[in-house]
Structure 1
């Protein structure tokens, strides 16, 4: 049992709080917000509610993402982990069931900044553009499936003086179709579309944002 009773989250998203593991500071403990699963289910269309509460639990969805074909039976030195936080499984905590993953740290031992924060501070500079190119190549080579790649789901880790991007959330398929998981052509097409959308989102992040993201995305399609 992970005791989070005296812990405060270091980050929070729409569905989950993120805590630093009290005994293992290099691990992140993600817990659903209280009542959030019931809230999401109540707002969903009736046909989605028929499948139960599991589809609304981000921890279970993340577990499914780590169970994808590209990540099965991968050893600790596999290149799949170069741009992906490691998975330590579902564990019980004093705040409910938790997903435990690697906590990516900055050079001072603090949680690494998100790409979103980096872009706000530095813009799309030469070093982060190169890091994005390396990340893109990793996606194409490993064929790791992600949902839409958002800047707040990537963190910037400095290695040997250069930034590298690491996925901390949004793993798995954004579609219910199984084709990207099992068919190579479909999988590569799916990944390229995620990459294209990632770049559109990044260019929007560093724009004047006179258009909302939804408006900008609609104009680009």
Structure 2
């Protein structure tokens, strides 16, 4: 068991705390926030409550995401790893089951900056536009399935002058039925919707936010 009692999270999301692995500092351990699964289940629509706790556990969903068709038997030098951290599985920790993955670091050895933070500092400049376009092309080429691509779930691997975006959360498909993994046409349409929504979110993040994200997202869907 990995002892995290002396560790403090270096980051926390809505559902998980992120720790640096005490024995492998180049790895990240994500642990569900205590009681969060129960909270998500309590707020879920009735039909989602018919499923087990795995539907509300981000670690279980991440494991499923890394076992999708595009990644299941990917070679070590496959293009799928150009914009994804390596994943090492689920391990027991003193804080509960932890999803262990590669920790994306900056040049100083600290956890890499999120796209959200970059946009706050520098806006949607040409450098990050190119990085976003490269990431979108990678999605199309690799066929990797993601949920909504949110700026706080993408980090910048390289320097500001030559950034490469890496998806650290939100892997897997949001659609319940598996058509997008089975049929090429369905997969292409699914990925294009994710990419379109990614651009809409980035543009909203750098706007005056005169409207809510939900309103902006609705407009994006109708375009």
In the TM superposition, what whole-angstrom CA distance separates every residue of 1:10-44 from its partner, at most 9, and x where no partner exists?
Answer: 11111100011111111010000001111111121
Runs of 4+ with deviation above 2 angstroms: none
**Aligned match of 1:214:** 214
CA 1:70 to 1:12, structure 2 compared with 1: closer, same or farther past 3 Å?
A: same
Map Cα deviations across residues 191-211 of structure 1 (whole Å, 9 max, x no partner): 011000000000001101111
CA shift digits 1:50-74 (9 cap, x unpaired): 2121111100000000000000111
Alpha-carbon offset, residue 49 of structure 1 = 1.3
Partner Cα distance (2:65, 2:170) in 1: 8
Structure 2 unpaired stretches of 5+: none
Superposed CA RMSD in Å reads: 1.1
TM-score (norm: length of structure 1): 0.97
Match of 2:6 in 1: 6
Q: Specify the alignment match of 1:171 in structure 2.
A: 171
CA distance in 1, matches of 2:46, 2:53: 12
> Gaps (5+ residues) in structure 1?
none
TM (normalized to structure 2)?
Answer: 0.96
Aligned residue number for residue 47 of structure 1: 47
Deviation at 1:45? Answer: 2.1
CA distance in 2, matches of 1:33, 1:214: 26
Helix, strand or coil: the match of 1:219?
helix
Q: Which residue of 1 aligns with 2:105?
A: 105
2:157 is paired with a residue of what secondary structure?
Answer: strand
Mapped to 2, the partners of 1:159 and 1:74 lie a distance apart of 27
Q: Counterparts in 2 of 1:114-193, with a 5 A limit? A: 114-158=114-158, 161-193=161-193
Aligned positions, number: 221
Secondary structure (helix, strand or coil) at the match of 1:81 reads helix
- Aligned-pair distance for 1:46? 2.3
Partner of 1:37: 37
